Amino acid sequence: MQRKALYGLLLIGLIAAPFAGAYPLFVMKVLCFALFAAAFNLLIGYTGLLSFGHAMFLATAGYLTGYTMQSLNFTPELGVLAGTAAATLIGVVTGLFAIRRQGIYFSMVTLALAQMVYFIYLQAPFTHGEDGLQGVPRGNLFGVLPLASDLVLYYVVLVVMVLAFLLIVRIVHSPFGQVLGAIKENEPRAISLGYDTDRFKLLAFVLSAGLAGLAGSLKVLVLGFETLGDAYWTLSGLVILMTLVGGMGTVFGPIVGAALIVSLEDRLGDIGTALASVTGVGWFNSLGESATIVTGLIFIACVLAFRRGIVGEIVARARILRA
């Protein structure tokens, strides 16, 4: 009941956010990365598979959605479906190769394939190379809802996000999710019980890729562009950081981690300027250019001080107090 009440308060806050002074574009960006982190968490937090190449699913969906809407005049719903389907298809191909290995070898396979996809997008004509896709139109959803309005798009993205998170919760608490948990805890024992673990891991990988693709498609609608930065390995590292900081293996953790990291990257320059004006130390003015250093320090602090992540530590302490 407490968890449901917390989710209800979060939903009410998100519904009221545009009227409370929140910038809709910024909140939508946070929501897209929250879904991306939640998709990754489905793989690492509930199945125990560490992927170093999840950025390729986000970028693939983004490029396909942007290209089909800009060059083929697809409607928004068809563009998002095309992008998500493309990411899911790449997830199937990648998963078939990756699940043959375990541990660090699984991670290296995903990283190698992701870098291969990155160089393909660097050379492919439809991605426009380093310039990326610019000026992607939003269009009208189902020919009725004008997505050019930030407020309309905000609530469309919010509805999609809520449905996606409900799907993740349903997956985690289903018999399928229980088998994934068993594979994470002790795969040989799951095999001895008669489960085809490779099939379960492949399905979890494909679901994670599809949800990451959905996040990428929505991100293009929100921002109106797609660049090579979304396909680079650093974004795969960033989503790992979001998941670990928020709390791996928790539903709410990736949302907190994504909100924290995106807010830091977006507002770090303003924070540095404010600190420089208060303390008189000019170095703080360059804090916005040191976002990577700050996020790295956060990662180190998370690993050393609270390995369960923010939400994971809160849940653990609550259990102790309840006991």
Torsion over CA: 34, 39, 44, 46 (sign): positive
Distance, CA of 174 to CA of 172 (rounded, Å): 6
CATH 1.10.3470 fits 23-322, yes or no: yes
What is the pTM (predicted TM-score) of this model? 0.90
Q: Mean pLDDT by 10-residue block, N- to C-terminus, for the chain (323 residues)?
A: 77 86 87 93 90 92 92 90 95 92 89 93 88 86 85 91 92 92 89 90 94 94 89 88 86 87 73 59 57 73 77 77 73
Residue-level length of the chain: 323
Which residue ranges make up each domain of the chain? 23-322
Lookup: tokens for 193: 């019980």
Lookup: tokens for 220: 């293009």
